[in-house]
Structure 1
Amino acid sequence: MNRRDILAGSIAGVSAAATLAAAGAASAQTAATELRWRMTSSYPASLDAVYGAGEIFIQVLGELSQGRMQIQHFASGEIVGGLQALDAVQNGTVECCDTSPFYYVGKDPAFTFGSAMPFGLTTRQQNSWLFQAGGLNLLNELFGRYNVFGLPIGNTNAQMAGWFRKEIKSVEDLRGLKMRVGGLAGRIVAKLGVVPQQIAAGDIYPALERGAIDAAEWVGPYDDERLGLYKIAPYYYYPGWWEASSTIFLLINKGRWDALTPFDQALMRVAAQDAMTLTIAKYDQLNSVAIRRLVAGGAQLRSFPQDVMDACYKSANEVFAEIGGENEMFKRLHDHLTGFRNEQNLWHQIAEYSYQTFMIRSRKL
């Protein structure tokens, strides 16, 4: 990959200019400190966009450190299964992983906020919440309880709701539907009669093919096309209300992170920011092309009926209240994010939404 100026921008108050300025002073201290880590992934290497966030981070970190800091990337299943990535980092089997934190809602439902709260934030709003509004600090308070430290390294942007064998025309059509759905969304749709399944990416197609599930969501057009789900379930629904955006995290063993020098921590933050920026851009570019190919190949685009969306929103708020009554950290994160979301949506309605609505309509003029 040809690199541009990978140090443009800043993250967590550590600007690239400051990093470069500090490099001379820190070189004597860090020159002899080499880093050789292993990173296990929750994603197969064939899904090059989501898996690629970790690849970009590793490459940029190597360049920033002039080869002193090297991380070896292992796809899902090479060391541990995709859904065991956090466990491997917690217990020190590997130093870090790239993953979607909401895979671990079984450990703690508050992990959902590390990826996406259902009916939550768009990508830009999520980044603002993480880096400006204190969301990342709250998440690292949660992560610390599980012996890890987190840095966001990407976002899939708004996702699709997935592939269905039959059309969903009403809430009644959800009853008894066996569906692969990630994170807390499974608990929400279960209230409406769906039978949720937590299945790793590489196992979704076989499960759909043999009829073990009736529907499956993964990410969006580009990644879904690579999994081949359209070959079995033709109805492609939107919006993916459980992931209006979905953050990809680098989770690092807490002891390993704390042992790094402040300078090396700064290098990791800058590399994470670059991976975030490029992954978001990659998904925007690739999804717009992939959705055209999918439709040309027979995919039937469908939007959820309004009564289905309303029922899901009601169910989501019931689940949030139930969990918040039992889990103090979940309630803190939910209240913090929801207040931020409400302010953001008011502003975006005035500026972004009105502009985009006009521009989308103008395509027909």
Structure 2
Amino acid sequence: MKAFGSHTPNRSRRRLQAAAAGAALALTATACSGAAGADGTYVLHYTTYSNSTSDQSRAIQRWAEEVEEATDGGVTVRFHYSQSLVGADESVQATLDGRADMAQVGSIYAASDLSMFTVIELPFETKNPEVQMTAIERLYEENEVYREDFDRQGVRLLFPLPLGIAAVGLQQEARDLDDLRGRSVRAGGLTSEVMLAAGANPVAMTANDIYESMSRGVVDGYTSLAIANLPTFGLSTTTPYVLDPGIGAYSSSIVVVNEELFQGMPQEYRDALTEVSARGISFGLEEMDALGETSCTELRESGAEFASLPEDQVSELREEVDAAESWVARYEERGYDARSVLDDYRRIIAEESESSDYADPLVACMGGGDA
């Protein structure tokens, strides 16, 4: 979201792509029909842009195991990792048109399909991923505007997957905004706007390219990653300086299932998927904590130094970026009542923050304890 490798040899990749193409054709004809196999069982094809060792994949693996057990083998999941079935930006449409049954949908790829879901990308709203994920679920149940996107696309939210809070990894030390100015930093989504406001030069690239780009001096650092992501990309042993920029939870992803397929299942199967999904947040946090602890240990052993951007400078960035009002204006121009979604998001964050003491792995690591 401990099982699989992040890189596939070229010939193996070609075999996977060929197999995926064949699977896609077969799924197009059957996945959205809601029909079970001849023996009454279901094989759900799950597409993800995550590799199979990520904490997000480990969380969905646990979910699949519990679903299979709860249905006595009636529902199983077949995984398609690292965009081997469809690209990350096609996840929602692939789940709708039958190329997949289930998908991991990243907020960074969801602007056109699930526009209101992107409210959770707003920086400076919360530093608690548990609160953020609970807000994702509650918005789905409590805000009609937010829910309508899912219904329109024919997909059902099962549960969210955490990414954690944004960290900045650097080759050279930075402790304030003056130190960041002029540096080239890999960034994506709304975090790029924060980097621009900080005087840095955001550079778009995939996470898989960060290690080599830093080694070659193409970029001076990276963000739009959380501490638990670093081992997956070889960065937890090669990042000498880690800065908490105060952005907080910067993104997330969700697991969705084709609604027609879900509704076509026997009631006991629907109940099993729903009941196991209720534990999805716990799965995600536990797996993120485990990889966060690994990352924290590797960072410390490599001699990495940690720092936090001063609070007054975080406030300065928040005011300059003004991401929330820009988000509302952008989507109200497209006919959404985006203000109601933002207001409910903030209300839920306030309510959930009172009962959650969860500490993100970055916060735990910087505090000196295990993540």
Give the TM-score band, short-chain normalised: 0.7 to 0.9
Q: Structure 1 residues 46, 334: closer, same or farther in 2, change over 3 A?
A: same
CA contact (8 A) 1:209 1:232 kept: no
Q: Structure 1 residues 91, 362: closer, same or farther in 2, change over 3 A?
A: closer
Deviation at residue 181 of structure 1 after TM alignment = 2.9
Q: Structure 1 residues 361, 198: closer, same or farther in 2, change over 3 A?
A: closer
Q: Structure 1 residues 188, 262: closer, same or farther in 2, change over 3 A?
A: farther
Q: Tell me, what secondary structure is at the counterpart of 1:236?
A: strand
Residue 348 of structure 2 corresponds to 340
Which of 52, 77, 81 lines up with 2:83 in the alignment?
A: 77
Which of 41, 45, 53 lines up with 1:46 in the alignment?
A: 53
Q: Tell me, what secondary structure is at the counterpart of 1:149?
A: strand
Deviation at residue 40 of structure 1 after TM alignment = 0.8
Q: Structure 1 residues 247, 35: closer, same or farther in 2, change over 3 A?
A: same
- The answer to whether residue 162 in structure 2 is matched with residue 155 in structure 1 is yes
Residue 288 of structure 1 corresponds to 293
Deviation at residue 67 of structure 1 after TM alignment = 1.0
Distance of 1:30 and 1:274 partners within structure 2: 27
CA contact (8 A) 1:225 1:290 kept: yes
Residue 202 of structure 1 corresponds to 208
TM-score (normalizing by structure 1):
0.74
Residue 25 of structure 1 corresponds to none
Residue 101 of structure 2 corresponds to 95
Q: Structure 1 residues 269, 342: closer, same or farther in 2, change over 3 A?
A: same
Which of 101, 105, 130 lines up with 2:111 in the alignment?
A: 105
Q: Structure 1 residues 280, 313: closer, same or farther in 2, change over 3 A?
A: same
CA contact (8 A) 2:168 2:244 kept: yes
Residue 172 of structure 2 corresponds to 166
CA contact (8 A) 1:54 1:98 kept: no
CA contact (8 A) 2:211 2:233 kept: yes
Residue 180 of structure 1 corresponds to 186
Residue 227 of structure 2 corresponds to 221
- The answer to whether residue 324 in structure 2 is matched with residue 320 in structure 1 is yes
Q: Which moved more, 1:56-65 or 1:98-107?
A: 98-107
Paired residue total:
323
Q: Structure 1 residues 227, 326: closer, same or farther in 2, change over 3 A?
A: closer
Segments of 5+ residues of structure 2 without an aligned counterpart are 3-35
CA contact (8 A) 1:159 1:243 kept: yes
- Give the letter aligned to residue 104 of structure 1: A
Distance of 1:174 and 1:74 partners within structure 2: 38
Which of 230, 237, 240 lines up with 1:234 in the alignment?
A: 240
Q: Tell me, what secondary structure is at the counterpart of 1:268?
A: helix
Identity level (%): 18
CA contact (8 A) 1:218 1:224 kept: no
CA contact (8 A) 2:113 2:149 kept: no
Q: Tell me, what secondary structure is at the counterpart of 2:173?
A: coil
Segments of 5+ residues of structure 1 without an aligned counterpart are 2-28
Deviation at residue 103 of structure 1 after TM alignment = 3.3
Deviation at residue 277 of structure 1 after TM alignment = 1.5
Q: Tell me, what secondary structure is at the counterpart of 2:157?
A: strand
Q: Tell me, what secondary structure is at the counterpart of 2:125?
A: coil
Distance of 1:154 and 1:352 partners within structure 2: 15
Distance of 1:228 and 1:263 partners within structure 2: 43
CA contact (8 A) 1:151 1:272 kept: yes
Distance of 1:308 and 1:72 partners within structure 2: 47
Distance of 1:362 and 1:209 partners within structure 2: 28
CA contact (8 A) 2:104 2:253 kept: yes
Q: Tell me, what secondary structure is at the counterpart of 1:326?
A: helix
TM-score (normalizing by structure 2):
0.73
Deviation at residue 97 of structure 1 after TM alignment = 1.0
Which of 304, 307, 317 lines up with 1:302 in the alignment?
A: 307
Residue 9 of structure 1 corresponds to none
Q: Structure 1 residues 257, 211: closer, same or farther in 2, change over 3 A?
A: farther
- The answer to whether residue 124 in structure 2 is matched with residue 119 in structure 1 is yes
- Give the letter aligned to residue 322 of structure 1: S
CA contact (8 A) 1:164 1:233 kept: yes
Deviation at residue 300 of structure 1 after TM alignment = 1.7
